[in-house]
Amino acid sequence: MRAVRNGDRWELHLVCKVEIPVEDAPGDNPTGIDLGISNYLAIAYDDGDAELYPRNVLKQDKHYFTRDEYDIEGENGPSRRALRARQKLSHRKDYFLHALAKRIVEQCIDHEVGHIAVSDLSKIREDKNDDSQNWGKRRNKKLHGWDFDRFTTLLEYKPEDHGILVDRKSERDTSKTCSCCGRKRDANRVERGLYVCESCGVTMNEDVNGAVNIRRKITQSPPTGDMSNGRLARPAVHMFNQTSVRFAPSEQVDCKP
């Protein structure tokens, strides 16, 4: 038990240990999750299905509430209204991250997944020599707005109740490497959202390509489903509804060359 200061009030936090029975895994299928640093989180299942989850809601909230907070900043520091704006932004981020983790677990159960490989972004701010890496002004802003470590922690404990194992895997070069033939070239990323391999000719969404490469870090077996260009280049997109606090499928992404 501890007392925690939250803005202009004190909260009493109680921690209780509860033993939760662990279910058997819904299946043995592996899946890969590319957290990304720009716009989308991508999931690639072993049966050939793929999904994208936009994070535009996080960026919109960050822009709106940060501006609102600065507009009402007091002369002697944050005003009460500024603190409330900061708290509301934190709560909305919590809702989004929990809803996203819950949705992914539900989808993994439907696809009979027993093992998840998720990209490890803990060293994303470092280059190959472990020096600080600059991604550019816009991408640095997106990277700092994406609470990937906190989300990965959620994604590690939520599937445990269903017997699903989660492993963090390095995402280095997964966006440059073709998930079909293994060739690595920066030029394969021909435009935003599209990956075209000049070696084998496969065309797919670039985030899905990264997710497939991450999935293959936990399995060497070939996918059992259809890996045709159409399914990989135009994955299903799940949009976040702020009213219902849930994700729902939307129209497919248009990734024509």
The enclosing domain of 132 has a CATH number of 3.30.420
Domain enclosing residue 154, as ranges? 24-171+237-250
Instruction: Give the pLDDT of residue 182.
Output: 83
Is residue 93 assigned to a domain?
Answer: yes
Domain count, the chain: 1
Domain assignment of residue 2, yes or no: no
Whether residue 223 contacts residue 232, with contact meaning beta carbons closer than 8 Å, is answered with no
Lowest mean pLDDT among 12-26, 138-152, 194-208: 138-152
pTM for the model: 0.75
Is the predicted pLDDT of residue 77 greater than 70, yes or no? no
What is residue 78's predicted lDDT score, i.e. its pLDDT? 60
Query: 81 CB contacts (<8 Å, ≥6 apart)?
Result: 72
Q: Does the structure show a pLDDT above 70 at 35?
A: yes
In a domain, 227, yes or no: no
Q: Which residues contact 175 (CB under 8 A, 6 or more apart)?
A: 34, 189, 206, 209, 210
- Residue at 10 is within a domain: no
154 vs 200, residue with greater confidence: 154
Specify the pLDDT at position 253.
42
State the average pLDDT over residues 76-101: 80
Burial zone of 50 (CB within 10 Å; 0-12 exposed, 13-18 middle, 19+ buried): buried
Whether the per-residue pLDDT at 40 is higher than 90: the answer is no
Helix (H, G, I), strand (E, B) or coil at 245: coil
Does 122 map to a domain? Answer: yes
pLDDT > 80? residue 179 = yes
| Position with higher pLDDT, 90 vs 130 | 90
Q: Is the per-residue pLDDT at 117 higher than 90?
A: yes
pLDDT over 70 percentage in the chain: 73
> Is the per-residue pLDDT at 257 higher than 50?
no
CB 29 within 8 A of CB 112: yes
Let me know if residue 113 belongs to a domain: yes
Domain assignment of residue 61, yes or no? yes
Query: What does DSSP assign to residue 29?
Result: E
Mean pLDDT of 22-28: 85
Overall average pLDDT of the 172-196 stretch: 77
Residue 112 lies in a domain: yes
